Amino acid sequence: MEEIKIRSLEHFEFIDVTSKIQDIVRKSGKKEGMCYLYVPHTTAAITINENADPAVKNDIISTFQKIVPWNWDYTHLEGNSAAHILSTVVGVSIAIPISKNELVLGVWQGIYFCEFDGPRNRRLIVSIVGE
């Protein structure tokens, strides 16, 4: 198990962590298996989506802000209910197959750490199982 430290700089931000995770997979020496990613935070998440055109992540963030507005009639006293909701909707864990010591991702896919309540110091847990 390894941990990636992430420093978000924006309130809402998608941070491409694909290359960092691929480096961990290669270093593991696992030829076949699974890479498990887990975000131990209640106002952040992890997802896979297109990483070729930056407009895609901007569109996703913009849509999230419309669907789950920051300023609404929430009852959570800390004032970041929207971030908690988005973390739940997107999810805090994913599993990615490993084949030939590489992540099995589609041509346009990248792995994004999703910040919904930044800027903050965050962690991403990477666990690799296989042979």
Q: Collapsing DSSP states into helix, strand and coil, what is residue 117? A: coil
> According to the model, what pLDDT value does residue 97 have?
98
CATH of residue 21? 2.60.120.460
Supply the range of the domain harboring residue 50.
Answer: 2-130
For residue 51, give the DSSP letter: -
Cα–Cα distance list, 113 to 18, 29, 100, 125 (Å): 9, 24, 24, 11
Closest CA to 10 of 53, 50, 44, 40: 44
Q: Give per-residue pLDDT as tens, 45-83.
A: 999 999 999 999 999 999 999 999 999 999 998 999 999
Q: What is the pTM of this model?
A: 0.96
13's CB contacts (< 8 A; 6+ apart) are 61, 114, 115, 118
Closest CA to 68 of 89, 49, 47: 89
For residue 4, what is the enclosing H or E element?
Answer: strand 2-7
Domain count, the chain: 1
Q: Give per-residue pLDDT as tens, 7-54.
A: 999 999 999 999 999 999 999 999 999 999 999 999 999 999 999 999
